[in-house]
Structure 1
Amino acid sequence: MNGSFFKEIPTGETLPPNNIHAVSVSMPKLEDVIGYEEQNPKTLEKIKSAYPRFVLHPYLKILANYIKEKYHVCDNYEIVVLSSPKAVKLLSDKYYINNKIEIDEPFGVILVQKETSQLQKVLTYIQHSGCNLSSRFAEDYLYKAGLIKNLFKEKVENKKTAKNTVIETLAKAYKQPKKNICLTPSGMNAVYSVVRGLNSIQSHNGRDILIQFGWLYLDTMNIVNHHFQRQKIFPDIKNLDLLEEYLKINGFKVTAIITEIPTNPLLKCANIKALRKLCDKYNIPLVIDSTFATPYNLDLTSYADIFVESLTKFACGNADVLMGAVILNKKHRLSHMTEEFFRHCEPVFIKDIQRLAFEIKNYEKRVKKISKNTKALVEYFKTCSYIDKIYYCLDKQNKENYSQTMIDENSFVGIISVTFKKPFKEVYDKLNFAKGPSLGTEFTLLMPYTYLAHYDLTKTKKGKEFLKQIDLPIDLLRISVGVEPIEEIIKEFEKIS
């Protein structure tokens, strides 16, 4: 075979390619990433779609324009489409929007005055709460209205059995009854729903502090900021002593502790057994984002009261469905509060469920293949002179904390983050893997994490100092390992040496 197994994917091409419902987008060169972050017109001209919570899907733009014409909305207002009328009420109440539009549509619509700070606040809150309207919903609507000619062809499960297939798979994986699981239109909506539920509980029990243990995903922290006036962040997930000292004074004021197992993107793991003991001592619910761990790498059912998972990632495996789930653990103290956590979840469009139902059937097999490849890639990186640091799970220290929770001793979470002894741009531009946001795909997917998640911090002296404090390198490459032949993955990385 002549040439590389991997080919560069053009800037702005969807990931996966030629898929209108793709949640990622190709940014093959570092200048593409910087151009996207700095809103360079030349770059934006190529990148017409991206992760749906951050960039409005092309079909949603068409739909908004159609609604504007249909209801004769004047040009002073921006049409914002949402997942439901419930989401409209939420945003209208939060930002005192009185210009709701009276419509007869099966989704939510609000009017926001253009060129105002209110518009940016609304769009940001939608991003954080994950109440975006589904691209498949918009596609169906536009097709029926004659605004697009074709529906995208894809393999799906039967409409009648699809939801049960997804719920049943998760119930079996997490060892929970089906009634303890609720689907959401994104992973962030799952986090949002749990935080809203915890917010409701605090008013009943007098506990009003939410603890974030570890430096969590940015939008998780943003949602907590929206709904908890009192919160405490412990950035270093390895330092349980600081948390323990804090709880000695404030333990019975804490509503819950929320954490990621392992953390994104540095793959750090807390001592889960010790953390659970602290939660039991002060009667604190523990919320775990298990997206990276998946229920097939780590069995965390003895530790979490609530799980949240972005099903967009490993459960989907193809980066073409935006969905999440809230899973309540029957073993722990909040199982009687099911309704409080589920009532904040936004509805999920049936065609998204049908697509995920087709993909989730391979969830366990996919995770095990990725795990095997990840282990081999870690071993290869350990021999590479061009690698500076390797971040992965599970390392020796993590195994001490997780020996009883690992599915097997060779179970590796399918993400590796690395830094290099060579210039980052040189390395990033040379590799021909798919490159863009998201993870958990069957195709190996690289992301320049800090550039895409915290670009503003990379531009100032103060920001750089802060990144240093939380131990987050600017030139960090997050690798979501795929199921391709491992020898081909390694061969592509050998181009760097």
Structure 2
Amino acid sequence: MLDFRLDLGESIPPHTAHAVSVSLPTWKSNIGYEEGEDWVVGRMTTGYPRFFIHRSIQAFAADIATRFGAKESKAFLFPTRQIAVGCVSFVKARAPPAVAASLDTVHLVLDATHPGAGALASLNPSISAVLGSQEAFPFLKEYWQHTGDGVSSRRAEFCHAILKDGLLRLDDTATTPVSPSSPKPCRGPKRYQRPSSMDTTTKRVSPDRDDAVAPDLHETSRFLEERFGRNLDISFVQPARSAIKRRIAGALRTNGELSRAPRPDHEMEANSRGVINLREDDIYLFPSGMSAISNSHRALLNTRGSMKSINFGFPYVDTLKILDKFGPGVVFYGHGSESDLDDLEKRLETGERFLALFCEFPGNPLLTCPNLSRIRQLADRHDFAVVVDETIGTFGNVNVLPFADVVVSSLTKIFSGDANVMGGSAIINPNSRYYAALREWARAPGGFDEDTYWPEDVMFLERNSRDFVSRIDRINANAEAICDVLRQATAVVKSIFYPKYNETRPNYEACKLPNAGYGGLISVVLRRPEQAVAFYDAIQTAKGPSLGTNFTLASPYVLLAHYQELDWAEGFGVERNLIRISVGLEDTEHIVNVFRGALKVAEESTAASQQV
């Protein structure tokens, strides 16, 4: 069980090099983070990766900017040239001309002439950097955050090490010139034994030797083994990808040791998705959940044409930004209600056409569920795609694929659980009318490129997800027990949001798997603002951004996600003092008592304020 007594700014989980959350243990610290106050930001060792650029990435970016950029330039790192070019196009369309003129790109690839390159070739270690002036930083960060296509911290750590060892070179095919005065990557010989990228605080560094020679194959193999850790051979990367995809499909029933032998397609027929013609190569992996969403949107724009999309239901913040900024626009139905569907149907009947409808099932943070059956009927009648984000419901509890053309999910969340690796997925429904076009586009140059998902991240995600199904069952049970405690605390609890108790429960039940539950996310609004503060400050759980962790994680979600638009959010019923609870695997009696204790503090805070 995770020790809840985490210091401000400490990684969650603690002592984890690639953690995806950070401790913000008080209500005040969350506000301080949003205000950019140094007493908070200055103590943060990490943060959620799309909002906080990991220290390993910062160090690598600074090195690239120094080697190849103009004075005081900033670098943002991406896994492929195509993504970097997309970033440049995005910034040039929005930034002032002088800012746009400062942009440059650098593409680094493995130097095949280096004696040690052969052992690394299968990893395809490459980096593309977009460099710009200080004024370009917010525009570059915007692209990084919205798309989720930035380089992962493990890839950055690995590639930075081999850049120093002279194994990366400028891509000879690069079309963007680099200033002749820019220093070239150092080819100085150094040994391969560098700090492991495993989640550990132990450093293993060998001294540099001026007389060192290129390592032999035995040393290289040892280096790679240390990089990937826990005795997992890189030859298992493809089997790991396969295992992840089959778990996503609900077709992998056992979790034994990985085998290099390809698994037969007929094993996919018995899957929990209820689609017997679903194949492994209908499932795509991405470096983050937002990358899965943004690339699905990009695929539809490229196959169906430039049309507005529909965002149905109150969304995760960056989904709406993607639909609004990366195409001709979006129609927003923030309540996701039946009356919203009535209005949409009227628009469709007048001849208005749309690219796709994007929705979450359930939504975040109100946990309401759209009527997917009715949405599917409208989509079939009026020719638009349906993209469903099942991150909150999880494919261990619900099956939304029969209603969707594309199903996306953040694998960073409960599928991983350990909160130490990012990932995302997209499933193209083989029964979709758009299937053939999407598959053709995905396979073509510029389509879905799975090389963006770094092999080491694949290995961590595969290992973390082996017990996914059993964890879901435990989390479902704990969440319902916590809901029971909250429902009894009527003196302080104003509203509880959970799929089992929301008005849209019938929509959830229509997709619920047999013997499944209602998920591990709960949102609660207390009756008074001071009660919310007291409850949050007192609750003895980890407190920070993200969800779907194996340990209970609390967050004043609306403050973090919508701090600059709190009034707008409240217009859709999302109150600013809402607290979101991601339920973990703790002993049920223990976690129930934790919530009882925090509720008691909240109730006492009211009595204390009345005496003042």
**TM-score with structure 1 length normalisation?**
0.91
Matches within 5 A, 1:149-160: 150-153=195-198, 157-159=232-234, 160=236
> Structure 1 residue 391 and structure 2 residue 391: aligned?
no
Of the two structures, which has the highest relative contact order with CA contacts closer than 8 Å and spacing of 6 or more? 1
Identity of aligned residues (%): 27
CA distance in structure 2 between the partners assigned to 1:213 and 1:164 by the alignment: 32
Gaps (5+ residues) in structure 2? 93-99, 110-125, 166-189, 200-228, 252-271, 601-612
Which structure has the bigger radius of gyration? 2
RMSD: 2.2
> Structure 1 residue 53 and structure 2 residue 53: aligned?
no
The residue number in structure 1 matching 2:151 is 133
Alpha-carbon distance, 1:262 to partner = 0.6
Alpha-carbon distance, 1:141 to partner = 2.8
Match of 1:100 among 97, 104, 107: 104
Measured against aligned partners, the alpha-carbon deviations of 1:26-62 in whole angstroms (never above 9, x if no partner) come to 0001111111110111211111310111111000111
Judging changes above 3 Å, is the alpha-carbon distance between structure 1 residues 316 and 339 closer, same or farther for their aligned structure 2 residues? farther
The residue number in structure 2 matching 1:359 is 464
Measured against aligned partners, the alpha-carbon deviations of 1:155-210 in whole angstroms (never above 9, x if no partner) come to 6654322212212211325453101011111111111101111212332xxx7221
CA distance in structure 2 between the partners assigned to 1:398 and 1:120 by the alignment: 39
The residue number in structure 1 matching 2:419 is 319
The residue number in structure 2 matching 1:81 is 77
Alpha-carbon distance, 1:344 to partner = 4.5
> Structure 1 residue 31 and structure 2 residue 28: aligned?
yes
Contact 1:187 1:324 in 2 (8 A): yes
Gaps (5+ residues) in structure 1? 459-463
The residue number in structure 1 matching 2:241 is 163
Contact 2:405 2:428 in 1 (8 A): yes
CA distance in structure 2 between the partners assigned to 1:127 and 1:245 by the alignment: 35
CA distance in structure 1 between the partners assigned to 2:408 and 2:449 by the alignment: 12
The residue number in structure 2 matching 1:435 is 543
CA distance in structure 1 between the partners assigned to 2:3 and 2:592 by the alignment: 11
Match of 2:312 among 199, 208, 213: 213
Letter in 2 for 1:314: I
> Structure 1 residue 381 and structure 2 residue 486: aligned?
yes
Letter in 1 for 2:145: Q
Alpha-carbon distance, 1:143 to partner = 4.0
Measured against aligned partners, the alpha-carbon deviations of 1:101-138 in whole angstroms (never above 9, x if no partner) come to 44534111121012x2x331121011101111111112
Contact 2:366 2:497 in 1 (8 A): yes
Contact 1:375 1:410 in 2 (8 A): no
Measured against aligned partners, the alpha-carbon deviations of 1:130-155 in whole angstroms (never above 9, x if no partner) come to 11111111222344437995214356
Letter in 1 for 2:334: P
Match of 2:298 among 188, 196, 200: 196
Measured against aligned partners, the alpha-carbon deviations of 1:335-383 in whole angstroms (never above 9, x if no partner) come to 2122435715561100000000101111111112111111222122111
CA distance in structure 2 between the partners assigned to 1:345 and 1:287 by the alignment: 20
Letter in 1 for 2:148: G
Judging changes above 3 Å, is the alpha-carbon distance between structure 1 residues 395 and 408 closer, same or farther for their aligned structure 2 residues? farther
CA distance in structure 1 between the partners assigned to 2:503 and 2:558 by the alignment: 25
Determine helix, strand or coil for the equivalent of 2:402: coil
CA distance in structure 2 between the partners assigned to 1:21 and 1:434 by the alignment: 17
Judging changes above 3 Å, is the alpha-carbon distance between structure 1 residues 158 and 398 closer, same or farther for their aligned structure 2 residues? farther
Contact 2:369 2:505 in 1 (8 A): no
CA distance in structure 2 between the partners assigned to 1:47 and 1:420 by the alignment: 29
> Structure 1 residue 408 and structure 2 residue 497: aligned?
no
CA distance in structure 1 between the partners assigned to 2:13 and 2:440 by the alignment: 36
The residue number in structure 1 matching 2:587 is 485
Q: How many residue pairs are counted as aligned between the two chains?
A: 481
> Structure 1 residue 454 and structure 2 residue 588: aligned?
no
CA distance in structure 2 between the partners assigned to 1:119 and 1:70 by the alignment: 18
Letter in 2 for 1:126: W
CA distance in structure 2 between the partners assigned to 1:212 and 1:100 by the alignment: 34
Judging changes above 3 Å, is the alpha-carbon distance between structure 1 residues 384 and 6 closer, same or farther for their aligned structure 2 residues? farther
CA distance in structure 2 between the partners assigned to 1:183 and 1:288 by the alignment: 16
Measured against aligned partners, the alpha-carbon deviations of 1:248-299 in whole angstroms (never above 9, x if no partner) come to 2245x11111111110000011122222211122122211001011111111
The residue number in structure 2 matching 1:338 is 439
Letter in 2 for 1:151: S
Alpha-carbon distance, 1:403 to partner = 3.2
Q: Could you list the runs of 4 or more consecutive aligned residues of structure 1 that deviate by over 6 angstroms after TM superposition?
A: none
Judging changes above 3 Å, is the alpha-carbon distance between structure 1 residues 249 and 345 closer, same or farther for their aligned structure 2 residues? farther
